[in-house]
């Protein structure tokens, strides 16, 4: 399976990336082909809601010329995407929020209000880290993620939510981390 992981942490070596790397290693061991995109390295502007994307029905057609143009192709050419984000003020990181907003162009509306999704049926998973507990923001982010997946008509393969992370020790010495990663990876078999 071809998987593209999008890291939305501004820290390439932070806790979110550590969980993502552990997950990627497990997926590679099963033979999956994985590419990681570090959104902090990309120039992604916010959606301007111009609806230019709706003028062509078989491709994203976003009017903003930035790095999302290349990321649209990566998404379309993948079987599965993984979104990895720390919780920022009860939400996704700003990098993931801009990225998700710009995926509106995958959904093409008909005159009667119905729509098709260019990513319908693709698999999608979430990796989420938080210094607080699971009800201090992660719960809200998971709900946003699930609504995005439903809207895009994608298939949710699961979530890895690791809360109360204050140090690397909280990741590498916590057996629950490995259990959650194993369950997530099994959903892709």
The tokens for 56 are 């062509």
Supply the mean pLDDT for the chain. 93
| Run of H or E including 9 | none
Please state the domain count of the chain: 1
> What residues does 38 pair with on adjacent strands?
7
Single pTM value for the model: 0.94
| Run of H or E including 146 | helix 138-151
Q: Give tens-digit pLDDT for 65-109.
A: 999 999 999 999 999 999 999 998 888 999 999 999 999 999 999
Q: For residues 74 and 78, give the distance between their C-alpha atoms in angstroms, rounded to a whole number.
A: 6
Which domain CATH number covers 144?
3.40.50.360
Domain extent at residue 177: 2-186
DSSP one-letter string for 75-136: HHT-SEEEEEEE-BTTB--HHHHHHHHGGGGGEEE-TTS-EEETTTT-EEEEEEE-SS-TTT
């Amino acid at each position: 399976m071809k998987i593209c992981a999008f890291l939305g942490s501004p820290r390439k070596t932070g806790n979110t990336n550590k969980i993502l790397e552990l997950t990627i290693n497990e997926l590679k061991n099963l033979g999956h082909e994985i590419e990681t995109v570090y959104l902090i390295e990309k120039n992604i502007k916010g959606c301007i809601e111009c609806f230019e994307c709706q003028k062509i029905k078989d491709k994203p057609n976003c009017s903003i010329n930035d790095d999302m143009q290349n990321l649209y192709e990566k998404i379309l050419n993948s079987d599965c995407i993984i979104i990895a984000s720390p919780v920022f003020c009860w939400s996704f990181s700003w990098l993931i929020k801009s990225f998700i907003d710009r995926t509106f162009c995958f959904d093409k509306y008909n005159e009667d209000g119905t729509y098709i999704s260019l990513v319908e049926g693709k698999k999608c998973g979430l990796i989420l880290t938080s210094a607080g507990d699971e009800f201090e923001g992660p719960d809200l982010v998971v709900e946003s993620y699930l609504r995005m997946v439903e809207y895009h008509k994608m298939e949710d393969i699961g979530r890895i939510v690791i809360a109360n992370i204050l140090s690397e020790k909280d990741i590498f010495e916590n057996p629950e981390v490995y259990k959650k990663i194993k369950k997530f990876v099994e959903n892709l078999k």
